[in-house]
Amino acid sequence: MWHDASAGEDAEIVDEGDGQFSIRGPLTFESVSHVMELSKPLFADHEVLHIDLAEVTDSDSAGLALLLEWVNWGRHYVHEIRYKNVPERIQAIAKISEVSDLLAAGERWTGPLTKG
């Protein structure tokens, strides 16, 4: 488990095995840079990533930007990324910004975002 103790609020990426990851804590302007850096070595060896966001405690547009950056990274390195339990706030920002479809763009072989 990777843990960010320096940012005031905790942000974690938990490796659940077999390309399954959980994000815990906030995905906000204060935490996303660190979460991005932590993700690089964790995600690199997996062709398919399943990222569960059920334990995200707070989010803002920076959280959406992180998810879109992971999709972009996946496209460049031929990885599939599937998000589960995307926080409603991130979904709302994505809808208003007209980028909802981009969140699912990392899903090369499978269907839409799943909730629950």
Q: Which domains does the chain have, with CATH numbers?
A: 2-106 (3.30.750.24)
Using CA atoms of 108, 21, 47, 28 in order, give the dihedral in degrees to the nearest 10: 60
- pLDDT tens column, 41-87: 999 889 999 999 999 999 999 999 999 999 988 888 878 999 999 99
pLDDT > 90: what percent of the chain? 66
Identify the pLDDT of residue 90: 96
**Which residue reads 């095995």 in tokens?**
17
pLDDT band for position 25 (50/70/90)? very high
- Decide if pLDDT at 3 tops 90: no
What's the predicted TM-score (pTM) here? 0.83
Q: What burial letters (b/e) apply to 26-60, b meaning 16+ CB within 10 Å? A: bbbebbbebbeebbeeebeebebbbbbbeebeebb
- pLDDT tens column, 83-100: 999 999 999 999 999 999
| Helix residue ranges, H only, 44-110 | 61-76, 88-96, 100-103
